[in-house]
Chain A
Amino acid sequence: MGIERHLGQSFMATSISQVVGWARKYSLWPLPFATACCSIEFMSTMTSDFDIARFGAERPSFSPRQADLMLVLGTITYKMAPVMWKAYQTMAEPKWVICVGACASTGGMFDTYAVLQGIDRVIPVDMYVPGCPPRPEMILDALVKLQQKISKESINDPKYRDRVEYLNNALAPLSEPVANVKG
Chain B
Amino acid sequence: MTNLKSRFANSFYHIEENRGMVVVQARKEHFLSLMKSLRDDPAFGFDVLMNLTGVDFLGKKETRFEMVYILLSSKTLSRIRVKVALAEDEHALSVIAIWKGANWPEREVYDLMGIYFDGHPLMERLIMPEGYIGHPLRKDFPIQGLGEDYLVESILRPVKNQAAPANQEEPTGNR
Contacts and interface: CB of A to CB of B under 8 A. Distances in A.
Interface stretch (A6-14, A75-83, A155-163): A75-83
Contacts of A117: 174-175
B157 A111 contact: no
Nearest to A169: B158
Contacts of A172: 155-158
Given A79-B129, A111-B144, A116 B152 contact: yes
A109 to B, nearest CB: 12
Nearest to B159: A121
Nearest to A119: B157
| Chief secondary structure at chain A's binding surface | loop
B32 interface: no
B45 interface: no
A92 interface: no
B3 interface: no
A114 B152 CA distance: 12
Interface residues of A, number: 21
A18 to B, nearest CB: 30
Contacts of A85: 155
Given A111-B144, A112-B145, A81 B157 contact: no
A112 B143 contact: yes
Contacts of B101: none
Interface string A100-126: 000000000001111011001111100
A117 B149 CA distance: 10
A123 B152 contact: no
A141 B17 CA distance: 60
Interface in A114-154: 114, 116-117, 120-124
Interface string B113-143: 0000000000000001100001010000111
Q: How big is the B interface, by class?
A: 20 to 34
B154 A173 contact: yes
Given A78-B129, A79-B129, A122-B152, A113 B157 contact: no
A177 B151 CA distance: 21
A113 B145 contact: yes
A180 interface: no
Contact of B157 (A78, A112, A114, A123): A123
Contacts of A112: 143-145
A117 to B, nearest CB: 6
A48 interface: no
Nearest to B129: A79
Contacts of B151: 78-79, 81
Given A114-B136, A117-B174, A117-B175, A81 B145 contact: no
Contacts of A175: 154
A43 interface: no
A78 B152 contact: yes
Interface of A: 78-79, 81-82, 85, 111-114, 116-117, 120-124, 169, 171-173, 175
Given A81-B155, A169-B158, 4 more contacts: A113-B143, A113-B148, A114-B136, A121-B152
> Top 8 A-B pairs ranked by shortest CB distance?
A113-B145, A79-B129, A78-B151, A85-B155, A172-B157, A172-B155, A81-B152, A113-B136
